[in-house]
Amino acid sequence: MKSIFVILVLSLFALSEARYFKIGYDQQPLPSNPNKAYASRIVNGEPADIAEFPHMLVLLDLTVGGFICGASIISRTWTLSAAHCLEFNVPANLINFRAGSTNRLSGGTVYIAASYHLHPQYNTRTLEFDVAVARTTEHMDGINITPVALPPICNTICCTVCENVAVTTSGWGRNEAGIFPANLMQLTKPIHEFNDCVRIWATFRIVITEDSFCKSAFDSRDTCNGDSGSPLVIGEGANRVQVGVVSFGAPVCGDNSRPSGNARIEHPAIRSWITNISGI
């Protein structure tokens, strides 16, 4: 089991050595693990435009004032995010999604959740099976509002999510200055070899399991607080496929100590569950 705690602020929360913090609102700490943190921001990323990432969503929790995580559009009525972003039993109508806007604070269209579901095997301490889906009350349609494709089930450790394949993450997590940018950022990095990821995390007494994959983090560029739940995609334009969901990382984002972790959508227990719940 991955002995990890997630921070919703990174929607990959940025954990301290002993605590994770919820993306967007550090005043509400999540369960902690001294060596693992929720993804909280994109550190040393590049500006992005929603036209390049029309599947991208801002996840808003109205009980804490708004932005907590990223999410993605996987159909006209279903979204995908990290389970640790939605594990607080918030009424569905207080979970909103902003679509079609580069700016997380304004623009686009805001949709209300009708219901949401956490993966039944999600473990809040280890962050295994860190995925959740939410259904919206209205169809998500409009300019720069488009679903992203998901991969088929993979019964091995590597189908689309293979070593050195480039994956692109987008999000509004904290940047290298420690602030949450108003406008969307992006980052492209190679997938880290799975067994080496397991080895590196083992030195911090963390067990990485096959429902996750890692992306390299050895050039001071990485996801962090506030990026939790954000999609990782391969390919370009209409051919893009979402292969991952931002989940966890080092307590200090971009410190090059270990690769960051993401839920692996093609894992049989994740991909089949998404289909069973959403029909996607």
Q: Which parts of the chain sit beneath pLDDT 70?
A: 1-45, 176-177, 217, 219-224, 254
pLDDT at 132: 98
pTM of the entire predicted model = 0.86
Catalytic residue among 170, 228, 247, 278: 228
List 61, 130, 222, 227, catalytic entry: 130
Which of 84, 119, 192, 267 is flagged as catalytic? 84
Per-residue model confidence (pLDDT) at position 220: 57
Map residue 85 onto helix, strand or coil: helix
d(Cα 173, Cα 179) in Å, to the nearest integer?
8
Distance CA 131, CA 115 (A): 15
Q: What is the CATH number of domain 1-280?
A: 2.40.10.120
228 catalytic? Reply is yes
Whether the Cβ atoms of residue 263 and residue 269 lie closer than 8 Å to each other: no
> Each residue of 41-91: pLDDT tens digit?
354 568 999 999 999 999 999 999 999 999 999 999 999 999 999 999 999
Q: What is the pLDDT of residue 23?
A: 30
Integer Cα distance of 241 and 164 in angstroms: 16
Q: What is the pLDDT of residues 241-266, one digit of tens each?
A: 999 999 988 777 767 778 889 999 99
- What's the pLDDT score for residue 254? 64
Distance, in Å, from the CA atom of 242 to the CA atom of 29, rounded to the nearest integer, reads 29
Residue 32: CB partners within 8 Å, gap ≥ 6? 5, 15, 16, 18, 19, 20
Quick check: helix, strand or coil at residue 274? helix
Q: What DSSP string describes 102-154? A: SBSSSSSEEEEEEEEEE-TT--TTT-TT--EEEEESS---STT----B-PPP-
